Structure 1
Amino acid sequence: MNRPIRQAAVIGSGIMGSGIAAHLANAGIPCLLLDVVPGAVNEEEAAKGWGLDHPAVRSRLATAAIAKLKKTNPAPLYDEDFASRITPGNVEDHLERIADADWIIEVVVERLDVKRGLLERIEKFRRPGTVVSSNTSGISVNAMAEGRGEEFRRHFMGTHFFNPPRYMKLLEIIPGRDTDPALVSRMKAFCENVLGKGVVIAKDTPNFVANRIGTYGLLVTLKEMAEKGYTVEEVDAVTGPAMGRPKSATFRTLDLVGLDTFVHVADNVRDHVEGAEERAAFETPDALKELVARGWLGEKSGQGFYRKIKGEGGRSEILALDLGTMEYRPQKKVSAGSLEAAKLAKGAREKTKALLAGGDRYSALAWDVLKRVLVYSAEKVGEIADSVEEIDNAMKWGFNWELGPFETWDAIGLKRSVGRMESEGVAVPGWVKAWIAAGNESFYRREAGARFYVHEGRYRQAEEAPEAVSLRDLKEQGKTVRSNAGASLIDLGDGVACLEFHSPNNAIGADILSMISQSADEVRRSFEGLVVANQGRNFCVGANLMILLMEAQDEEWDEVDGIIRQFQNAMLKLKRLEKPVVAAPHRMTLGGGVEACLPADQVVASAETYYGLVEVGVGLIPAGGGCKEFALRASQAAAAAVGAAGSGAAGAADVDVQPYLNRAFETIGMAKVSTSGHDAKKLGYLRPSDRIVLNQDRLIHEAKQAVLGMVRAGYEPVPEEKIRVAGAEGKAVLTLGAIAMREGGYISDHDLKIAKKLAHVLAGGDLPAGTLVSEQYMLDLEREAFLSLCGEPKTQQRMQHMLAKGKALRN
Structure 2
Amino acid sequence: MTRKIRRVGVIGAGVMGAAIAAHLANVGMSVVLLDIVPGELTEDEAKQGLTLASKAVRNRIVNRGLQAALRAKPASFYTEEDAGRIETGNLEDDLDRLAACDWVIEAIVENLEAKKALFAKLENVVREDAVVSSNTSGISIAAMAEGRGESFRRRFLGTHFFNPPRYMKLLEIIPGPQTDPELVSFMRRFGERVLGKGVVLAKDTPNFIANRIGTYGLMVTLDAMRRFGLGVDEVDALTGPVMGRPKSATFRTLDLVGLDTFVHVANNVRASVADPAEKDAFTIPPYLERMVANGWLGEKTGQGFFKRVKGADGRREILALDLETFEYRPRRRVQSPALEAAKNQPTAALRLKTLVSGQDPASQFVWDVLKRVLLYTAERQGEIADDIVSVDNAMKWGFNWELGPYETWDAIGLQESVARMRAEGERIPAFVEELLASGRTSFYERQPGEVPKFYVGAGKYRTVEEPAEVISLARLKEQGRLVRGNRSASLVDLGDGVLCLEFHSPKQALGPDVVQMIHAAADEVSANWEALVIGNQAPNFCVGANLMLMLMEAQDENWDEINLAVQQLQQALMRIKYLDKPVVAAPFGYALGGGAEVCFPADRIQASGETYMGLVEVGVGLIPGGGGNKEMLIRAIEGAEGAADTRLDNFVRRAFENIALAKVSTSARDAQRLGYLRKTDGITVGGDYLLHDAKQVALGLARAGYTPPTPRPIPVIGEDGAAALKIGVYGMKKAGYISDHDEKIAHHLIRVLTGGSVRRGTLVSESYLLDLEREAFLSLIGEPKTQQRMQHMLQTGKPLRN
TM value normalised by structure 1: 0.97
Which residue in 2 is equivalent to 1:348? 348
Which residue in 2 is equivalent to 1:97? 97
CA-to-aligned-CA distance 1:454-509 (integer Å, 9 cap, x gap): 11231100111011111111111111100100000000000001100001111111
Deviation at 1:410, TM superposition (A): 1.0
In structure 1, C-alpha distance between the alignment counterparts of 2:712 and 2:445, rounded to whole Å: 52
Deviation at 1:566, TM superposition (A): 1.3
CA-to-aligned-CA distance 1:782-802 (integer Å, 9 cap, x gap): 111000101100000000011
Q: Percent identity?
A: 59
How do 1:629-640 residues align onto structure 2 when only pairs under 5 Å count? 629-640=631-642
Q: Is the 8 A contact 1:604 1:692 kept in 2?
A: yes
Which residue in 2 is equivalent to 1:226? 226
Could you tell which deviates more after superposition, 431-440 or 542-551?
431-440
Deviation at 1:302, TM superposition (A): 2.2
Which residue in 1 is equivalent to 2:627? 625
Which residue in 2 is equivalent to 1:286? 286
Deviation at 1:656, TM superposition (A): 4.0
In structure 2, C-alpha distance between the alignment counterparts of 1:315 and 1:610, rounded to whole Å: 29
Which residue in 2 is equivalent to 1:26? 26
Helix, strand or coil for the counterpart of 1:165?
coil
CA-to-aligned-CA distance 1:520-564 (integer Å, 9 cap, x gap): 101111110000000000100110000000000010111111110
Q: Is the 8 A contact 1:342 1:350 kept in 2?
A: yes
Deviation at 1:431, TM superposition (A): 2.1
How do 1:592-607 residues align onto structure 2 when only pairs under 5 Å count? 592-607=594-609
CA-to-aligned-CA distance 1:306-353 (integer Å, 9 cap, x gap): 122222244322111111222111112234322222222222112212
Which residue in 2 is equivalent to 1:455? 456
Which residue in 1 is equivalent to 2:109? 109
Which residue in 2 is equivalent to 1:735? 726
Aligned-pair Cα RMSD in Å: 1.3
How do 1:388-537 residues align onto structure 2 when only pairs under 5 Å count? 388-447=388-447, 448-457=449-458, 458-537=460-539
How do 1:52-131 residues align onto structure 2 when only pairs under 5 Å count? 52-131=52-131
In structure 2, C-alpha distance between the alignment counterparts of 1:124 and 1:323, rounded to whole Å: 52
Could you tell which deviates more after superposition, 673-682 or 45-54?
45-54
In structure 2, C-alpha distance between the alignment counterparts of 1:184 and 1:369, rounded to whole Å: 35
Deviation at 1:394, TM superposition (A): 0.4
Deviation at 1:639, TM superposition (A): 4.1
Helix, strand or coil for the counterpart of 2:71?
coil
Deviation at 1:605, TM superposition (A): 0.4
Q: Is the 8 A contact 2:515 2:572 kept in 1?
A: yes
| Equivalent residue letter for 1:670 | L
In structure 2, C-alpha distance between the alignment counterparts of 1:3 and 1:633, rounded to whole Å: 40
| Equivalent residue letter for 2:683 | I
CA-to-aligned-CA distance 1:98-140 (integer Å, 9 cap, x gap): 1101101111100111001111011111110111111101100
Which residue in 1 is equivalent to 2:337? 337
Q: Is the 8 A contact 1:69 1:83 kept in 2?
A: no
Which residue in 1 is equivalent to 2:272? 272
In structure 1, C-alpha distance between the alignment counterparts of 2:512 and 2:450, rounded to whole Å: 30
Q: Is the 8 A contact 2:228 2:361 kept in 1?
A: no
In structure 2, C-alpha distance between the alignment counterparts of 1:780 and 1:502, rounded to whole Å: 29
In structure 2, C-alpha distance between the alignment counterparts of 1:409 and 1:433, rounded to whole Å: 13
In structure 1, C-alpha distance between the alignment counterparts of 2:279 and 2:772, rounded to whole Å: 70
Which residue in 1 is equivalent to 2:143? 143
CA-to-aligned-CA distance 1:268-324 (integer Å, 9 cap, x gap): 111111221211211122322232233322222222211222222443221111112
In structure 2, C-alpha distance between the alignment counterparts of 1:2 and 1:121, rounded to whole Å: 27
Deviation at 1:381, TM superposition (A): 1.4
Deviation at 1:250, TM superposition (A): 0.6
Which residue in 1 is equivalent to 2:693? 702
Q: Is the 8 A contact 2:453 2:461 kept in 1?
A: yes
Which residue in 1 is equivalent to 2:299? 299
Which residue in 2 is equivalent to 1:258? 258
Could you tell which deviates more after superposition, 266-275 or 682-691?
266-275
- 2:706 matched to 1:711? no
Could you tell which deviates more after superposition, 453-462 or 574-583?
453-462
Deviation at 1:640, TM superposition (A): 4.5
In structure 2, C-alpha distance between the alignment counterparts of 1:690 and 1:256, rounded to whole Å: 35
Q: Is the 8 A contact 1:449 1:474 kept in 2?
A: no
Which residue in 1 is equivalent to 2:755? 764
Helix, strand or coil for the counterpart of 1:381?
helix
- 2:676 matched to 1:685? yes
| Equivalent residue letter for 1:456 | G
CA-to-aligned-CA distance 1:43-65 (integer Å, 9 cap, x gap): 33223211101122111111222
| Equivalent residue letter for 1:601 | D
1:675 to 663, 666, 679: 666
Which residue in 1 is equivalent to 2:154? 154
- 2:795 matched to 1:809? no
| Equivalent residue letter for 1:711 | A
| Equivalent residue letter for 2:582 | P
In structure 2, C-alpha distance between the alignment counterparts of 1:375 and 1:612, rounded to whole Å: 46
| Equivalent residue letter for 1:103 | W
CA-to-aligned-CA distance 1:198-228 (integer Å, 9 cap, x gap): 1111000000000000011001111011111
In structure 2, C-alpha distance between the alignment counterparts of 1:278 and 1:635, rounded to whole Å: 66
Change (3 A) 1:767 1:335: farther
- 2:791 matched to 1:800? yes
In structure 2, C-alpha distance between the alignment counterparts of 1:97 and 1:278, rounded to whole Å: 44
Could you tell which deviates more after superposition, 719-728 or 287-296?
287-296
| Equivalent residue letter for 1:450 | V
Change (3 A) 1:335 1:506: farther
In structure 1, C-alpha distance between the alignment counterparts of 2:351 and 2:261, rounded to whole Å: 31
Which residue in 2 is equivalent to 1:651? none
1:567 to 556, 561, 569: 569
Q: Is the 8 A contact 1:19 1:76 kept in 2?
A: yes
In structure 1, C-alpha distance between the alignment counterparts of 2:667 and 2:54, rounded to whole Å: 37
CA-to-aligned-CA distance 1:583-614 (integer Å, 9 cap, x gap): 00000110000001011000000010110000
Aligned residue pairs total 800
1:540 to 535, 539, 542: 542
In structure 1, C-alpha distance between the alignment counterparts of 2:354 and 2:788, rounded to whole Å: 36
Give the ranges of 4+ consecutive aligned residues of structure 1 lying more than 4 Å apart after TM superposition: none
Which residue in 1 is equivalent to 2:778? 787
Which residue in 2 is equivalent to 1:664? 655
In structure 2, C-alpha distance between the alignment counterparts of 1:65 and 1:226, rounded to whole Å: 39
Deviation at 1:42, TM superposition (A): 2.0
Could you tell which deviates more after superposition, 529-538 or 378-387?
378-387
TM value normalised by structure 2: 0.98
In structure 2, C-alpha distance between the alignment counterparts of 1:452 and 1:297, rounded to whole Å: 43
| Equivalent residue letter for 1:550 | M
Which residue in 2 is equivalent to 1:167? 167
CA-to-aligned-CA distance 1:157-202 (integer Å, 9 cap, x gap): 1111111111111111111101111100101111111111111110
In structure 1, C-alpha distance between the alignment counterparts of 2:168 and 2:71, rounded to whole Å: 19
In structure 1, C-alpha distance between the alignment counterparts of 2:338 and 2:768, rounded to whole Å: 55
In structure 1, C-alpha distance between the alignment counterparts of 2:275 and 2:374, rounded to whole Å: 19
Helix, strand or coil for the counterpart of 1:603?
strand
| Equivalent residue letter for 1:451 | P
Q: Is the 8 A contact 2:78 2:669 kept in 1?
A: yes
In structure 1, C-alpha distance between the alignment counterparts of 2:774 and 2:217, rounded to whole Å: 54
| Equivalent residue letter for 2:450 | G
